[in-house]
Amino acid sequence: MPVQQVPEHHHITSEQWDELAADPEFRALVRARRVFVVPMMLFVTVFYLALPIAAGFAPGIMSRPVLGSLTAAYLFALAQFPVGWLVLALYLRRSRGYDLTAARCRKHEMEEIRG
């Protein structure tokens, strides 16, 4: 979707920006994003940092073969890729909804600016 909303965006006054920021639909969009992104970011951080912490501080456990000759550490490292792609897929699916709401907010605001 091309960003072709307000070419004259310099003329949006700070009152108008504040008005938009208070728009319930916009606030809901910000909240929806936050509710998804914050837990995801926490999960990614924990899932990633668990690997160096476990491999560094518990090398004995992480050196055990768990799948054929694959060790727990190597399996965990390889798992970072499908898990990362899964987070990506979930985010891409969510963001379709965000794009629609964002477009509505923009349209709404443009109508207001034009009076």
List residues binding another protein (CB under 8 A).
Answer: 1-7, 9, 12, 14, 17-18, 20-21, 26, 29-30, 33, 37, 40-41, 44, 48-49, 51-53, 55-57, 59, 62-63, 65, 68-71, 73-74, 77-78, 80-81, 84-85, 87-88, 91-92, 95, 99, 102, 105-106, 109
Residue 90 CB, shortest distance to another protein, in Å, is 10
Q: In whole angstroms, how close is the CB of 61 to another protein at the nearest point?
A: 10
- Burial of 36 per CB tally in 10 Å (0-12, 13-18, 19+): middle
* Sign of the alpha-carbon dihedral angle for 90, 95, 98, 104: negative
The bridge status of strand 65-67 relative to strand 70-71 is antiparallel
Distance (Å) of CA 113 to CA 12, 22, 47, 71, 107? 7, 15, 46, 61, 10
- Angle at 1 (CA atoms; ends 82, 20), nearest 5 degrees: 100
User: Which of 20/24 has CB closer to another protein?
Assistant: 20
- Which tokens hold the place of 79? 């798992």
Instruction: For another protein, give the closer residue by CB, 5 or 24.
Output: 5
Min CB(114)–another protein separation in Å: 14
The distance of closest approach from Cβ of residue 67 to another protein in the complex, given in angstroms and rounded to an integer, is 9
